[in-house]
Amino acid sequence: MEIITGYNVVEEIKATTKKDKVIVIQPFGRSVQQIGEFIADPTSRSMSLIGAIDIVNQLKKDYAVIIMSEHHFATEENEDKYPIARPQISDMRVWAAVIDVADHFLGCDSVGQHIARAFDKTATVVVGSTYPENISYPGHKEFDIIDVGDGRREYAPIRITMDERVDRFNDEAMELSKKQVDEIVASCRKRLGKPKTYTGTFVPPQQDQGQSCSPQQQPALGQGIASPAPTTDVPRQGPPTPTWSPTSNAPSFTGAPKPSFTMETKKKPKNKKGFQSEIKNLLKSDKEDAITIEKKSI
């Protein structure tokens, strides 16, 4: 169900943006905080807001952009012409499916990069106050590590102990210069390849009319495409059911979608004929290392 939901999320975004190449961007980690109009990370592991907006504004012109964040921020630049997707997904397994179906991942020191690595996806990882050898996969052929904090950080024992002095020393370690922004964008373009226009046909999934679900029970997976809707964390109530954005210019329902992915089925293990057979197999070995059972007479 998660794979199917992730596939449909990506296909809707392709149909809305008219772009065939999709990138998932996770600009912020769990330690980020939203205070009024400001989004800041006291541990300097998240991208700076200005840098993240600059990156999104450059990539959205050629690629379909999915923002993986519970914090909303406006890009302010041609969002009507170049919409971006902000799906509000409360299930991390659905996010994993979205990353797997997408073409590339861009993120900071957070969970998204580990999901990308688990699925052997290409990724661009931006590192600031933390060290790549500790939290990412330097040297891996599918990962581009952009270390913007190199030479201006001190080791922070995150989650071992709190050290405010180190966090203050590392402050602004994720402030991105124009050169670093260009390097990040160039890495993403290299991995995504030449932009393509979406020529597929998105078929919106239809909700089963026999089920009665309140809006609060459904994670709004499609909401947020070119829309500054606030985020809400909703506990999952069964399989994820998408609520699709009214901004999607999708065709009418014509049949089930035809995903390009395949699912392998695992073969059932052969019957080992019970517990006694298992014991006999364990006792079998070479003569040199033979196991013997000593029987004592009473």
pLDDT digits over 67-91, tens only? 999 888 877 667 788 999 999 999 9
The pLDDT score that the predictor gives to residue 157 is: 84
Query: What fold, for 2-192?
Result: Rossmann fold (3.40.50)
User: Residue 169 — φ and ψ, nearest 5°?
Assistant: -65, -40
Confidence of residue 203 (pLDDT cuts 50, 70, 90): confident
Euclidean distance between CA atoms 200 and 206, whole angstroms: 19
Per-residue pLDDT reduced to its tens digit, 137-146: 999 999 999 9
Stated pTM of the model: 0.69
Mean pLDDT of the chain: 78
Whether pLDDT at 197 is above 90: yes
CA angle 69, 70, 74 (to 5 degrees): 70
pLDDT-derived band at 114, boundaries 50, 70, 90: very high
Report CA-CA distances (Å) from 74 to 88, 93, 97, 223, 231: 15, 26, 25, 15, 13
pLDDT at 269: 53
Report phi then psi at 67, rounded to 5. Answer: -90, 120
Mean pLDDT of 177-189: 96
Residue type, 269: P
Spatial strand order in the sheet of 64-67: 64-67, 22-26, 104-107, 123-127, 143-147
Of the pLDDT bands very low, low, confident and very high (cuts 50, 70, 90), residue 245 is very low
Question: Confidence band (pLDDT; 50, 70, 90) for 209?
Answer: very low
Q: Distance between the two ends of the chain, CA-based, in angstroms?
A: 63
